[in-house]
């Protein structure tokens, strides 16, 4: 097994010039994450270009929104964001919107770096995750969250997805 090489990971705010790369990575992450939860036809319809449009002005959202991209060898491999709670009955004032990471980069500490870039240590926070996302809850439990029993069914790409809430 030899020596562990230290990964050279850069975590920095998302920039407007990242939009095309963000769209490509976002589409791939959604394929990897939601395969088996929503139909293949719906997944096939996900356009990196359409997702890139979502990222084109992301950096302009204001300082209450915190966002980060993780780059390895100059390529974006994941991203995260948090901001003001979007739910009327929110259990905390801030919401973790997402931590997305390409499957091939899981379990290398990059998700933790992304999380730490958009969340203060011990900050009261909550978020939502797909109910049947394999391994997803473990990441949050390690960071002091608990699955608090709240559930919602959300429209997702024209289908529905059941999500569970985690909070701390």
* Residues 6+ away with beta carbon under 8 Å from 158: 42
What pLDDT shows up at residue 105?
A: 95
Strand partners, 129: 164
What percent of the chain is predicted at pLDDT more than 70?
A: 97
pLDDT by residue (tens digit) across 23-80? 999 999 998 988 888 888 888 888 899 899 889 888 888 889 999 999 999 999 999 9
**Ramachandran quadrant class, 165 (left: phi over 0; alpha: psi -120 to 50; beta: rest):** beta
Strand partners, 151: 164
Q: What is the domain partition of the chain in residue ranges? A: 9-167
Q: What pTM does this model have?
A: 0.89
Question: Which CATH code, of 3.30.420.40, 3.40.630.30, 3.40.1360.10, 3.40.640.10, is assigned to 9-167?
Answer: 3.40.630.30
Helix, strand, or coil here: 30?
helix
Torsion angle of alpha carbons 5, 101, 19, 75, nearest 10°? 20
């Amino acid at each position: 097994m030899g020596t562990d090489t230290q990964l050279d990971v850069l975590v920095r705010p998302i920039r407007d010039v990242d939009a095309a790369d963000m769209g490509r990575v976002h589409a791939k992450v959604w394929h990897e994450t939601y395969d088996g939860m929503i139909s293949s036809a719906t997944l096939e319809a996900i356009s990196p270009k359409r997702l890139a449009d979502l990222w084109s002005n992301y950096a302009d959202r204001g300082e209450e929104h915190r966002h980060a991209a993780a780059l390895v060898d100059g390529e974006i491999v994941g991203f995260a964001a948090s901001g003001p709670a979007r739910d009327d009955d929110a259990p905390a004032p801030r919401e973790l919107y997402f931590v997305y990471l390409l499957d091939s980069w899981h379990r290398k500490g990059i998700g933790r770096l992304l999380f730490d870039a958009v969340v203060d240590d011990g900050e009261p926070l909550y978020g939502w995750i797909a109910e049947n996302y394999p391994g997803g809850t473990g990441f949050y439990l390690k960071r002091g969250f608990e699955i608090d029993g709240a559930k919602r069914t959300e429209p997702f790409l024209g289908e529905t997805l059941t999500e569970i809430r985690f909070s701390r």
